[in-house]
Amino acid sequence: MSLVPGDFSRFAINQITTPSLSLVEAVDTYARHGAGGIGVWNQYLEGIAPAAAGRLIRDAGLFVPCLCTTAWVNLADPAARAAAIEENRRRLDAAHDLGAACLVVVPGGLATGEKDIIAARNRVEDALAELLPHARAAGVSLGLEPLHPMFAADRSCLNTFRHCLDLVESMGAGTGIVADVYHCWWDPEFPEGLRAAGAGRILTFHLCDWLVPTRDVYQDRGMVGDGVIDIAFHCRLLNEIAYDGPFEIEIFSKLDWWTRDAAETTRISLERCEPFVAPRAGASVCG
Mean pLDDT, residues 195-218:
97
Assess if residue 233 is contained within a domain.
Answer: yes
Q: Which domain holds residue 98?
A: 11-276
Give pLDDT, residue 230. Answer: 97
**Preceding omega of 69 cis (within 30 degrees of 0):** yes
Distances (CA, A) of 55 to 64, 81, 98, 108, 216: 11, 32, 8, 31, 37
Within a domain: 246: yes
| Position 284 in a domain | no
Residue 98 parent element (H or E): helix 78-98
Which pLDDT value is given to residue 277? 87
User: Quick one: average pLDDT of 71-89?
Assistant: 96
In one letter, which amino acid is 115? K
Mean pLDDT of 82-102: 98
What average pLDDT does range 73-89 have in this prediction? 96
205-63-227 Cα angle (round to 5): 30
Q: Is the pLDDT at 81 greater than 60, yes or no?
A: yes
The domain spanning residue 229 has which CATH number? 3.20.20.150
Q: Give the count of domains, the chain.
A: 1
Q: Give the per-residue pLDDT at 281.
A: 46
241-285 residue pLDDT tens: 999 999 999 999 999 999 999 999 999 999 999 999 865 545 555
Positive or negative, the CA dihedral 75, 77, 82, 87 is negative
Report the alpha-carbon distance of residue 13 to residue 66 in Å, rounded: 11
In a domain, 2, yes or no: no
Task: Say if 18 falls within a structural domain.
Answer: yes
Q: In this predicted structure, what is the pLDDT of residue 284? A: 52
* pLDDT tens digits, 105-158: 999 999 989 999 999 999 999 999 999 999 999 999 999 999 999 999 999 999
Instruction: Provide the percentage of residues in the chain whose pLDDT is more than 90.
Output: 92
Determine, yes or no, domain membership for 85: yes
The pLDDT value recorded for residue 2 is 29
Query: Does pLDDT of 287 surpass 50?
Result: no
Which pLDDT value is given to residue 5?
A: 44
Q: How confident is the model at residue 6 (pLDDT cuts 50, 70, 90)?
A: low
Tell me if 94 is assigned to some domain.
Answer: yes
**pLDDT per position as a tens digit, 180-191:** 999 999 999 999
Whether 100 is in a domain gets the answer: yes
CB atoms within 10 A of CB 272: 18
